[in-house]
Copies of this chain bind each other. A is one copy, B any other.
Amino acid sequence: MSGSRQIGKTARNGRDQASDTRFGKTAGNRLDAIYRSISEAIIQHRLRPGARLREDALAEVFGVSRTGIRKVLQRLALEQLITLTPRRGASVTRPSADEAREVFEARLVVECALMEAAATRITEADISELRDMVKREHEALRNREQRIAIKLSASFHARLADISGNRTLAGFVNQLASRSSLILAVYGNAGNLGCESHDHKNLIDLLAAGDGAKAGDFMARHLKSIEASLSIFEEPEETPDLRELFAVDALSSN
């Protein structure tokens, strides 16, 4: 037996990740709002991978100076949501196929391990909140509001990690879930947005029953099925893509 490491013996509940006092933000609430705004836009695929994020434009839009924007961009870069190229500026990260596999491997390790603790520590309030999130996810799907559904799905996983009580690991999951959204944007097939909300419902039931082991197993299947639904292979490069496009034009116009 090389697995089944138990966690979640700490006493704190750690559910206030939103207002982490650890960052410099005097009136930084402003910057934090900008961060969340851009982050959400990326997660919701309103900003597609490869999209350029010019500092001047962002500074003007949000009504702050480039200094503040740069701080936000640096944070986003550290979380791998955007890529900072030396003299080229920022662009939404286009995850490589390897990166995609890594992220799902990491989620498999971390999120499954957290289920044990989550099953122990979950409260009635948590359960109803999670059920509400699933309900809203269903509604968004019915209304074809995929962007909202994607955001809710990522939030669901992050929330689940919060419940486990380990802020550090929850932070990792939060980051991994965000990057997963990026991966879906690149390697996902149309109409398939990754998480089956039915899976999420099952997950809640298992946790509510206090069965952490089964919840962990189910989470593993859940994540593997998401990864299996993707088409993870190295896409055509940027420039080759343009050349191919030119070739098609040449054929059709001839």
Q: Please determine whether B3 and A106 come into contact, CB atoms closer than 8 angstroms.
A: no
- Which of A10, A26, A83 gathers the greatest number of chain B CB atoms within 10 Å? A10
A83 to B24, CA, bound (A): 8
Q: Given that A2-B213, A217-B1 are contacting pairs, would A98 and B24 also be in contact in the complex, using a CB cutoff of 8 Å? A: no
Query: Could you say which of A109-117, A125-133, A141-149, A184-192 contacts chain B?
Result: A109-117
Query: Could you say which of A44-52, A161-169, A195-203, A235-243 contacts chain B?
Result: A161-169
Q: Given that A23-B84, A26-B86, A75-B78 are contacting pairs, would A169 and B102 also be in contact in the complex, using a CB cutoff of 8 Å? A: yes
Q: Please determine whether A102 and B25 come into contact, CB atoms closer than 8 angstroms.
A: no
A24 to B166, CA, bound (A): 31
Q: Please determine whether A167 and B22 come into contact, CB atoms closer than 8 angstroms.
A: no
| Residue in B4, B83, B102, B116 whose beta carbon sits within 8 Å of that of A22 in the complex | B83
Copies of this chain, count:
2
Q: Please determine whether A22 and B168 come into contact, CB atoms closer than 8 angstroms.
A: no
Q: Could you name 29 residue pairs across A and B whose Cβ atoms are closer than 8 Å? A: A2-B4, A2-B115, A2-B213, A3-B4, A3-B113, A3-B216, A5-B109, A5-B112, A7-B108, A8-B105, A14-B102, A22-B77, A22-B84, A23-B77, A23-B84, A24-B84, A28-B86, A71-B74, A74-B74, A74-B75, A75-B78, A99-B168, A103-B168, A105-B166, A105-B168, A106-B172, A109-B109, A168-B176, A172-B172
**CB within 8 Å of B: which residues of A?**
1-5, 7-12, 14, 21-26, 28, 71, 73-75, 77-78, 80, 83-87, 98-99, 101-103, 105-106, 108-110, 112-116, 166-169, 172, 176, 212-214, 216-217, 220
